Amino acid sequence: LVEASLDRIQKVDGQVGAFLMVDEEGVRQRARALDEQGVADDVLSAIPMGMKDNISTTGVATTAGSRILGDYTPVYNATVMEKLNGVGANMVGKMNMDEFAMGSSNENSGFHPVRNPWDLKRVPGGSSGGSAAAVASGQVTFALGSDTGGSIRQPASYCGVVGLKPTYGRVSRYGLIAFASSLDQIGPLTRNVEDAAAVLQTIAGYDPKDSTSAKVDVPNYLASLTGEIRGLKVAVPKEMMGAGIDAGVKQRVQEALKLMERLGATVEEVSLPHAEYAVATYYLLAPAEASSNLARYDGVRYGIRVEGENLIDMFHRTRSTGFGAEVKRRIMLGTYALSSGYYDAYYRKAQQVRTLIRQDFEAIFEKYDVVVGPTAPTTAFALGEKTDDPLTMYLNDICTIPVNLAGLPAISLPCGLVDGLPVGLQIIGKAFDEQGVLRVAHAYE
């Protein structure tokens, strides 16, 4: 399996650019050990997989897609890495990403962009673009990504794979390099729903090392894939099927809904009245949290240092050199929003709107089992198409961001093509009902 994965990387990754680092020696060594000891009794044992490069891996460089981290090599594993090691999954390498997970196209990587395997002139989506492209091009069987505003689901959608963002608190964030701590969540990118269930099974669960991880029982996800959705109540928010959503994408989603009806579900239109404020809310909260989380890259503790005339000058030069343009933009936005005198007008207001968005979903889930719509308003766009216009880039996350603000689980899975490019269907569930989300996704798939 490992040799097949390495062969495939050799063959295609020069064009795709999904890996930042291939741990050839490590992966072969672990494969040999598995050959000698025998494969463990777990579906993930010996399976080659990729880790988004913002997930800490002992002894293996972890860059978060940023130059500022230099050759930083963690001395501990993220909990998700520990858990995957525990069942014998075999990490092939670290996946390319937008710097500090800020982006929707993977063009903000501090190293090189990733290309969409369906069309190399197009973006794979972001920020987990490397993870999605590697799974789509058969370089690894699965990969982990992180999702703060859509970064697992949107690249899954653009690359025609399955991407699952668990409920906030379902999967430990210990060892995940923080972007926006109240939104970040780790999850799998896979080729089908069954694999997503298997990976979630391994990585989910309470972790005393993450104070926001939830003490909620982890059910048997594979057992919930019954194929049965008769009587299921599906809500379709009109805001996710309205203006700004490409006609071809809408059509594929409508066809998916028809299929769900044929499987015995009822489908009704609903409204998320505050959804129109979600992107604005996110772009206050996420940069605010990021500006605080990224204060630690000061040339003292991690990564690169650019010497200066004094301490402040050293901070200044290190951060000016190490961070890319989008990261600087976010730090400036976030610092501004948190400045004295503006806190009430921006951060507090955004928190209040976030509550309203969460309540919109709660009201829907009183009557419905799942919320369904597109993952992204379009299919994969061309490299360079949106790089000069951050606002258009931000608007691409219009269907995924409300889910992070509400902390809910959601999956993106392929629902056909438009002009030869994959479309993603998004299924959103109640808090901690990954089981329900997976069941519906599997029945549709």
Q: Of residues 107, 147, 194, 195, which one binds ligand GLN by CB under 6 A?
A: 147
Q: How far is the CB of 157 from ligand GLN (least distance, A)?
A: 12
Q: Is 151 a catalytic residue?
A: yes
Q: Is 105 a catalytic residue?
A: no
Q: How far apart are CA 361 and CA 80, in angstroms?
A: 28
> Between 150 and 414, whose beta carbon lies closer to ligand GLN?
150
Sheet containing 370-374, strands listed edge to edge, beginning at the edge strand earlier in sequence: 19-22, 90-95, 48-52, 142-146, 186-190, 162-165, 410-418, 421-428, 370-374, 233-237, 266-270
In terms of Cβ atoms closer than 10 Å to its own Cβ (0-12, 13-18, 19+), residue 3 is exposed
> Between 23 and 397, whose beta carbon lies closer to ligand GLN?
397
Q: How far apart are CA 441 and CA 352, in angstroms?
A: 32
- Using DSSP, how many helices (H) and how many strands (E) does the chain show? 14, 11
Residue 252 DSSP SS3: helix
Contact 294, 331 (CB under 8 A): yes
Q: Please list every residue from 282 through 301 that binds ligand GLN, using CB under 6 A.
A: 286
Q: Which among 33-41, 141-149, 216-224, 421-429 is the span making contact with ligand GLN, rule CB under 6 A?
A: 141-149
Kindly name the residue from 52, 94, 165, 386 that is annotated as catalytic.
Answer: 52
Q: Which residue has the tokens 């994965």?
A: 5
Q: Which among 6-14, 98-106, 219-227, 409-417 is the span making contact with ligand GLN, rule CB under 6 A?
A: 98-106
Q: Of residues 79, 109, 127, 137, which one binds ligand GLN by CB under 6 A?
A: 127
Q: Of residues 9, 20, 101, 114, which one binds ligand GLN by CB under 6 A?
A: 101
> Between 364 and 410, whose beta carbon lies closer to ligand GLN?
410
Q: Check residue 167 and report its DSSP letter.
A: P
Q: Is 102 in the site for ligand GLN (CB under 6 A)?
A: yes
Angle between helices 2-16 and 24-37 (to 10 degrees): 160
Kindly name the residue from 66, 151, 157, 291 that is annotated as catalytic.
Answer: 151
Contact 60, 22 (CB under 8 A): no
Q: Which among 25-33, 101-109, 305-313, 350-358 is the span making contact with ligand GLN, rule CB under 6 A?
A: 101-109
Q: Which among 66-74, 145-153, 243-251, 295-303 is the span making contact with ligand GLN, rule CB under 6 A?
A: 145-153
Q: Is 258 a catalytic residue?
A: no
Kindly name the residue from 5, 105, 127, 146 that is annotated as catalytic.
Answer: 127
Contact 397, 159 (CB under 8 A): no
Q: Which among 3-11, 71-79, 81-89, 99-107 is the span making contact with ligand GLN, rule CB under 6 A?
A: 99-107
Q: How far is the CB of 169 from ligand GLN (least distance, A)?
A: 17
95-116 burial by CB neighbour count: b if 16+ within 10 A, else e? Answer: bbbbbbbbbbbbbbbbbebbbb
Contact 204, 312 (CB under 8 A): no
Nearest residue to ligand GLN, by Cβ distance, number only: 151
Q: Of residues 129, 149, 163, 373, which one binds ligand GLN by CB under 6 A?
A: 149
Q: How far is the CB of 104 from ligand GLN (least distance, A)?
A: 4
What's the length of the chain? 445
Q: How far is the CB of 40 from ligand GLN (least distance, A)?
A: 32
**208, 210, 212, 214 alpha-carbon torsion, rounded to 10°:** -40
> Between 103 and 422, whose beta carbon lies closer to ligand GLN?
103
Q: Please list every residue from 392 through 431 that binds ligand GLN, using CB under 6 A.
A: 397
Contact 100, 65 (CB under 8 A): yes
Interface map 360-399 toward ligand GLN (x if CB under 6 A) = -------------------------------------x--
Q: How far is the CB of 374 from ligand GLN (least distance, A)?
A: 16
> Could you check whether the bond before residue 128 is cis, i.e. omega within 30 degrees of 0?
no
Amino acid at 434: E
Q: How far is the CB of 100 from ligand GLN (least distance, A)?
A: 8
Q: How far apart are CA 70 and CA 26, in angstroms?
A: 21
**Residues that are catalytic:** 52, 127, 151
Which residues contribute to the site for ligand GLN (CB under 6 A)? 101-104, 127, 147-151, 179, 286, 397
